[in-house]
Amino acid sequence: MAVTVRLLALTLLSALIAGCAGLSQREPSSAGWKQHSAQLSALQYWTASGKLALRTTDASESANIVWQQANEHTQLQLSGPLGMGATTIHSDGQILDIRQGDDHTTLDISTPDAIVLNTGWDLPLGALTHWLKGLPSPDWDIQLIDVNPQTELLQNLQQGDWEVNFQSYGQFQAYVLPTRLQIQRGTTRVKLVISRWQMPST
């Protein structure tokens, strides 16, 4: 039986359990990396559109994805072929709201304890907003960071138990942003292909 988009969304969210292990590393100190990371850190309003593929030991599914970010507000839209089974996930850092058709679930995620209590997840939506832009999360220790010395772009990152591999980048307005990345922990693997980045006109 095919996995529904709602199950894909919940599996993706539940898979993103953060852990912290190992010695922490510092970000590179080169002027190029500092300039690049400062530019992307200042980018707080954006939309990334593309496709997501999730593989675990229990499921393998894909969906179209639209990720909208406005400061701390995250809205994630997942849909299958021809828009079937559309799921919308919204978070303001305090509440997680999941909607699919007539189904509506609201979870208190104002503290890590509340997340674990309500869902058993430690949901790093905040970390993902940085990873998608090609940056480490400032809220997590860095176990591994690998920046290409020629391009000053992030290639590999490990934070917690997650490994993030940045496979390609593209130019979008004044920004160089990831177009293909893989996020993996154990047997859980998430692949993202971003075909379009949109930012407010400056």
How does strand 162-172 pair with strand 154-159?
Answer: antiparallel
pLDDT band at 15 (very low <50, low <70, confident <90, very high): very low
In the predicted model, is pLDDT for residue 72 greater than 90?
no
At 45 the pLDDT is 96
- Is pLDDT of 139 > 50? yes
> Measured at the alpha carbon of residue 47, what is the angle toward residues 16 and 181, in degrees to the nearest 5?
45
Q: What is the dotted CATH code of the domain comprising 5-198?
A: 2.50.20.10
Phi-psi region of 175 (alpha: psi -120 to 50; beta: other; left: phi over 0): beta
Closest CA to 185 of 165, 157, 161, 155: 161
Q: What is the pLDDT of residue 115?
A: 52
Picking from 125, 133, 155, 131, the residue whose alpha carbon sits closest to that of residue 199 is 133
pLDDT in tens, 20-52: 445 578 888 899 999 999 999 999 999 999 998
pLDDT in tens, 155-199: 999 997 889 999 999 999 999 999 999 998 888 788 999 999 999
Joined tokens for residue 184: 């993996």
Quote the pLDDT of residue 68.
95
Nearest to 110 by CA among 127, 98, 123, 99: 123
- What is the band of 83 on the pLDDT scale with cuts at 50, 70, 90? low
CA angle 51, 121, 50 (to 5 degrees): 10
